[in-house]
A and B are shown apart, each in its own frame.
Chain A
């Protein structure tokens, strides 16, 4: 049984480490594109394809909040690897608020223009 546990341990290390390593490597070398990660799409009737891009504050703050929450979680697990850490309510609230801000900004950029177009068409 001890051999089985050791085998399972090394299997986990190799597979999990391998997947993490490959994805990180591809992210760093550009194999997985991070282009326009902080740019959002906005509805733009003047553009040929109906939309244009802009630097999105919502995406930027979401990236910050995500990295902070993920870093906090990993540090807590490293400090006490006996159990899953309990996240403070404030952190969960901040993360949820951050997501709401991002989604709100995206909806505003993509849907508001279309709504305005719709009403402009109906009201002569």
Chain B
């Protein structure tokens, strides 16, 4: 088995669902809702935590998260990362304060992420058109390798 922790998380979530469904007193429909909610929360937390632990321990490598195809850090990726965290945190704060999802999602949020994502896309296009021959360093050389070299300078890593 390649990832036993994911299987264990799923089993734990199912067990919690059954425990709530069978032993918690209350009306049937409420119990079903509660069981699904708790199982979803437990599953989401365990999956998220496993990924978090993998990143923190280095098992999941995010060293090339901001790397550009020709080497070095990409400004558009960095910008997208900043806006993703800013909007994610804002969303969390607002949901915690109001107790409900913001409806509708304001256009300002979409504009910010849209501008950023469009820049990333266009930047990739320019990079691929303008640097056809730039070879990526060989694999295992400082974690900057972006896959293959040569064809269009856009292989791998994106």
Contact = CB atoms under 8 A, between A and B. Distances in A.
Q: Interface majority SS on B: helix, strand, loop or mixed?
A: helix
Interface string A53-91: 100000100110011011001100110011111110000
B148 interface: no
29 contacts: A11-B44, A12-B92, A12-B96, A14-B49, A15-B48, A23-B85, A26-B62, A32-B62, A35-B72, A50-B131, A51-B70, A53-B72, A63-B78, A63-B79, A67-B82, A70-B82, A73-B112, A77-B94, A78-B93, A82-B97, A83-B98, A83-B102, A84-B106, A84-B109, A92-B112, A99-B115, A103-B119, A110-B129, A111-B129
A87 B133 CA distance: 42
B49 to A, nearest CB: 7
A33 B66 CA distance: 7
Given A12-B96, A18-B49, A83-B102, 5 more contacts: A34-B73, A51-B134, A73-B87, A77-B93, A106-B127
Interface string B72-91: 11011011011101111110
B49 A15 contact: yes
A107 B126 contact: yes
A4 B56 contact: no
Q: Interface majority SS on A: helix, strand, loop or mixed?
A: helix
Contacts of B96: 9, 12, 81
| A contact residues, range | 35 or more
Nearest to A31: B63
Contact of A84 (B41, B102, B126): B102
Contacts of A20: 85, 89
Contacts of A49: 133-135
A39 B72 contact: yes
B18 interface: no
A87 B95 CA distance: 19
A4 B38 CA distance: 7
A109 B131 CA distance: 11
Nearest to B34: A4
